[in-house]
Amino acid sequence: MTDQTAEQTVRYTLDNGAAHIVMTRPAQLNAMTPEMVTDLRTAVTRAREEGARVLLISAEGRAFCAGRDIAGAEPGSEDGGQVLAEIFNPLMQEVADLPFPTMAAVQGACLGTGLGLALACDVVLAADNAKFGSPFGKIGAVFDSGGHKVFVERLGTAVTFDLIYSGRFLSGTEAAAVGLVSRVVPADELQTQATAYAAALAAGPVLAFAESKRIVRAVADTATDLAGVLEMEAQAQSRASKTKDYVEGFTAFLERRQPTFRGE
C-alpha cells in the first residue's frame, strides 16, 4: 500500500507488515515544517492502525533531516517552547511509544528535530557519511527533541556537554563507536540493509519483541534493580509463552527448521 501527501513531504508504504515512512524534501535537506510534522504523525498513526509489525523511517537525498525548517520561524515573537510542545514533541513521543520495533536509516545531516526523530526509534542504522550533533548554540537555542536524555544516557555528561558547547558533529562511524547509534554501514548500502532488516523484523516474533521493548524502556526510564528486572522478564516470558509464536519458535527449533511467526 502506498500513499503520498499532496505537498509531497512524506511517502508511506506498508508491505508484509513492514511500514516505511520516507521524508521527501531533499532540496531542503528534509527540514521539518509544521505541515511535514502533521504528515509524519499521520503516517505513524496509519502504521499503528493498519497493523504494522515494524516501522522504518528514512529520507530521500543527501540528508536525513537538518531539523526544523527555520525559514518559517519568527524570532523575537514566537515562543520556542510552545512550538516544541505543540508541534514537534508529540511526534517524538508517538514514535517512541509505538509498541513494535522502530528503525531509522540515517545519511548525511541528522540534527535538531531530525536527530530527535531518529533517536526516538529503537534502532538507528547510520551511514558512514552521517553527521550527528547539536549546533543549537550557533543560533542561541537550546538542544531539544529529547536529545539531552539520550545523549546523557548513551554518552555521559562530559561528552554531552562538549557536543552541546562546541557544536561539533559525530560521524556515523564515531556515533556507532560511542553507542549513540546502533551500527554504521557504508552509505551506498544503507537503504538496502535497512529495508532487509525491517523485513526480517516484520517476519519475526513481534509479540516477544514488544515485551522486550517494554522492559528496555522501563529500565531506561526508571531506577530498576536486578530483582525488578528479573521480575519484569519473568512476567513478560509468561505472557510470551502463551502465544502461538512461542510454540512455533520452540517447535521449529526442535524440528531444525526456520520458524514462521505470525504475531499471534
Tens place of pLDDT per residue across the chain (264 aa): 345 444 689 999 999 999 999 999 999 999 999 999 999 999 999 999 999 999 999 999 999 999 988 787 777 776 878 888 899 999 999 999 999 999 999 999 999 999 999 999 999 999 999 999 988 877 778 888 999 999 999 999 999 999 999 999 999 999 999 999 999 999 999 999 999 999 999 999 999 999 999 999 998 888 777 787 677 777 878 888 888 988 888 788 789 899 999 988
* 259 falls within a domain: no
Q: Around Cβ 39, how many Cβ atoms within 10 Å?
A: 24
197-221 CB burial, b ≥16 within 10 A, e <16: bbbebbbbbbbbbbbebebeeeeee
Say whether both 17 and 102 belong to one domain.
yes
Q: What's the CA gap between 67 and 116, in Å, rounded?
A: 9
Q: For position 5, what pLDDT does the model report? A: 43
User: DSSP code of 264?
Assistant: -
Residue 59 pairs in a beta bridge with: 23
Say whether both 195 and 236 belong to one domain.
no
Say whether both 90 and 164 belong to one domain.
yes
* 260 falls within a domain: no
Q: For position 7, what pLDDT does the model report? A: 62
Please, are residues 126 and 176 in contact by the beta-carbon 8 Å criterion?
yes
Q: Long-range contacts for 192-196 (Cβ within 8 Å, ≥24 apart)?
A: 193/125, 194/56, 194/58, 194/103, 194/105, 194/125, 195/18, 195/20, 195/56
Q: What's the CA gap between 200 and 205, in Å, rounded?
A: 10
* 77 falls within a domain: yes
The burial class, CB within 10 Å (0-12 / 13-18 / 19+), for 79 is exposed
Sequence-separated (6 or more) residues with CB below 8 Å from residue 166: none
Sheet holding 109-111, edge to edge: 109-111, 131-133, 169-171
Q: What's the CA gap between 134 and 56, in Å, rounded?
A: 24
- Structural domain boundaries enclosing 71: 2-202
Sequence-separated (6 or more) residues with CB below 8 Å from residue 149: none
* 162 falls within a domain: yes
Say whether both 246 and 125 belong to one domain.
no
pTM for this predicted structure:
0.88
Please, are residues 33 and 2 in contact by the beta-carbon 8 Å criterion?
no
Say whether both 185 and 59 belong to one domain.
yes
Considering 167, 187, 202, which residue would you say is the last residue of a domain? Answer: 202
* 222 falls within a domain: yes
Q: For position 83, what pLDDT does the model report? A: 85
* 263 falls within a domain: no
Number of domains forming the structure of the chain:
2
* 91 falls within a domain: yes
Please, are residues 72 and 91 in contact by the beta-carbon 8 Å criterion?
no
